[in-house]
Structure 1
Amino acid sequence: MKTRPALLLSLCLFVLPVVAQEEIRVGVELQPYQPYSDVQGGEYRGYARDLLDAFAAESGYRFVYTPLPVRRLLSDFLAGRVDLKFPDHPQWNADQKAGHAVRYSDPAAPYVDGILVKPQHLGQGMQRIELLGTQNGFTPWPYLSEIRGGRIRLIQANQIQSLLLMASSDRLDAVYLNPKVVAHQLGQMGMATDSLVFDPALPHVEDHYYLSSIRHPQLIEAFNRFLEERAEQVAAIRLRHGL
């Protein structure tokens, strides 16, 4: 006796397993930091979102993004209230991470942090910098000795916009930030994107941001494979966001 096609289809649907996507809580920074990331209307956006979504779509994970202030993000990560943290770096808060088996991915996003000044001060060296501004949570690594020695006074603020206004009005001699983030923020403020410029002759940091996890080392391994095997796709995402 022939089996009807409709019956065959019903049997196949019955025996196929239902594959549920695993929900992963991704802790991300609440602060605006385009083109890397931003939170608008409660929605996480930017390069990091596009990169992580591309990985999740291919790997079968369902990422739920949890934007948090920088300090709370670290504490929630170490306490296991979020599964992943982005951005992260092995040097960041190393003392607080001691005793936790934090697994870091391969480099996920290139960045430069350095000194930005008004164009007329470009190339004038470090000697003119007495008041240096940076964002709360940032560590100006190349200038720690001068700051600790009292030669440079560090001013920190929660908002990048406040720092840029202070530097533009000469209330700060310079800011220590990411040049791409500064240019984007200046444009958002209606100011010329070159009203503060990066001085490459001064000490700066060229490095990468990483994805990290304590609870899911196997996910970090999968992410590393994605970065390697989908290198062209990753490069296209970076290009789209100007990175």
Structure 2
Amino acid sequence: MRALLTLLACLPFTLAALTHAETFKVGVELQPYLPYSNVQDGQYLGYGRDLLDAFAAHQGHEFIYQPLPVRRLLSDFLNDRVDFKYPDNPRWNADQKKGYALHYSQAAAPAIDGVLVKPEFLGQGSARLHRLGTQRGFTPWPYLDEIKAGKILLIQANQIDSLLAMAMNDRIDGVYLNPQVIQHQFYNSAEKSLVFDPKLPYQDDHYFLSSIRHPEVIKQFDAFLSSQAELVQMLKDRHGISDPLSGQ
């Protein structure tokens, strides 16, 4: 009898978990951007994968990851071909998102984007920035006015390696990207690294999980980020994700 009462006491929670456990398709970026994310042999990897997997396991959901080129990812997301988009940010493609009721999570990861230069150019200011490189699909927000006015030529490339080579060979004056991604590219490399210049305009921001049709899961994700803050920090530490401005 005692065993039966115990089973009955647990049953509502089990049924609730089963009721709320679902399978979702998460659209992710098909590009190398470690330590945040990467795709190898069709498999989504990096901090984003570990974080979302931990949340799915905690909640009882199953996430199927769909790596897509950046532009197609937004299109598939807005047209309900994927349930979630990661990473996302309310400022990204704001014009294309008009008319859609998007739901954004709490911040899932810090993301500072700024200009990296050769060490000898550190602290020389923005007057020397005539050719600025960035990855295709990225928007150098702090420099848009200068780009539109023709004061800065924006050069885009599909591969980060190409941008780094152009900067090291002085074909561009700086690279606008996330400093931690650049540090990861140069990790264990004998090649001299570019350095983040905090005196140049930068964007201090975060990555978010977004959804149109599943605000309830976004709320679950927010609760997970709060209740499992120690686990989330452990994942950040494991992947070397921190605030690049700390100690500046």
Match of 1:178 in 2: 178
SS of structure 2 residue aligned to 1:171: coil
Q: Which amino acid aligns with 1:92?
A: W
State the alpha-carbon separation in 2 of the partners of residues 46 and 170 from structure 1: 31
Match of 1:217 in 2: 215
CA RMSD, 1 decimal: 1.9
State the alpha-carbon separation in 1 of the partners of residues 152 and 95 from structure 2: 25
Match of 1:97 in 2: 97
Q: Mark the runs of 5 or more structure 1 residues left unpaired by the alignment.
A: 1-15
SS of structure 2 residue aligned to 1:77: helix
Q: Which amino acid aligns with 1:162?
A: S
Q: Which amino acid aligns with 1:206?
A: D
Q: Which amino acid aligns with 2:229?
A: A
Q: Is 1:198 the counterpart of 2:196 in the alignment?
A: yes
Pairwise CA distance, 1:148: 0.8
Match of 2:161 in 1: 161
Match of 1:77 in 2: 77
CA deviations on 1:106-144 (whole Å, 9 max, x unpaired) are: 001101100100001101111111010001111111111
Q: Write out aligned runs for 1:90-129 (5 A).
A: 90-129=90-129
Match of 2:230 in 1: 232
SS of structure 2 residue aligned to 1:170: coil
Match of 1:13 in 2: none
Q: Which amino acid aligns with 2:224?
A: F
Match of 1:135 in 2: 135
SS of structure 1 residue aligned to 2:187: helix
CA deviations on 1:31-62 (whole Å, 9 max, x unpaired) are: 00000000011111100000000000010100
CA deviations on 1:167-203 (whole Å, 9 max, x unpaired) are: 0111111110111101111237x443x5200001111
State the alpha-carbon separation in 2 of the partners of residues 224 and 195 from structure 1: 36
State the alpha-carbon separation in 2 of the partners of residues 171 and 237 from structure 1: 37
Q: Mark the runs of 5 or more structure 2 residues left unpaired by the alignment.
A: 1-13, 242-248
Comparing 17-26 and 111-120, the one that deviates more: 17-26
Aligned residues: 229
Pairwise CA distance, 1:19: 3.9
Change (3 A) 1:166 1:191: farther
Larger CA Rg, structure 1 vs 2: 1
Percent identity over paired residues: 62
